Amino acid sequence: MPLVVRPSPIHSVGVYTTTAIRKGSRVIEYTGERITPLNHSCEPNCEVDEIKGRVWLFALRDIAPGEELVWDYNLYDDEDPAPCYCGSRKCRGTMYSREWMAKIRRREARKKKKLEAARNGKTSNKYGRGNVPSDAPAPSRVPATPQ
């Protein structure tokens, strides 16, 4: 399949097809450095799949001659900025996966909640009782009897 590397509006250079590619077609084998110019897009036309230990790029839809081949990197397991410049109408603004971004948001929300509680002088422990040491005995639930 004839592919060319040329300037890309997404990032530096990209890989373009010179012929039509049908949906489901095996486009190219991913062998690392050889196809580094394959750019990320939040609206990809290709996806990666592993077959018998080899990694291949497949067409997600019919791809027209002259189109740039792009796939969704779905990065994870890092917190360094990875902004996306794909320009897609579905752009999520990052090359991280939706799942990873949700995990990061949950982690940040927990941190924020903990900081707010500390600022307000409230701490909680495994018993759900604020400002009480976690090894303190639970308060008695027996009603006081009048004397």
Higher pLDDT, 139 or 88: 88
Token reading at 55: 């990694």
Q: Are 41 and 47 in contact (CB under 8 A)?
A: no
- Reported confidence tier of residue 147, pLDDT bands at 50, 70, 90: low
Q: What is the pLDDT of residues 101-142, one digit of tens each?
A: 888 889 889 999 988 888 887 655 555 555 555 555 555 555
SS3 state at 33: helix
Q: Which pLDDT does position 37 carry in this prediction?
A: 80
- C-alpha closest to that of 37 among 7, 60, 63: 7
Residue 122 CB-density burial (10 A; 0-12 exposed, 13-18 middle, 19+ buried): exposed
39-40/70-71 β-pairing: parallel
Q: What is the pTM of this model?
A: 0.67
* CA dist., res. 18 & res. 66, Å (int): 5
SS3 state at 115: helix
Going from the N-terminus, what domains does the chain have, and what CATH number goes with each? 3-72 (2.170.270.10)
Phi, psi of 110 (to 5 degrees): -65, -45
Q: What is the pLDDT of residues 36-51, one digit of tens each?
A: 788 999 999 999 999 9
Q: Which pLDDT does position 137 carry in this prediction?
A: 59
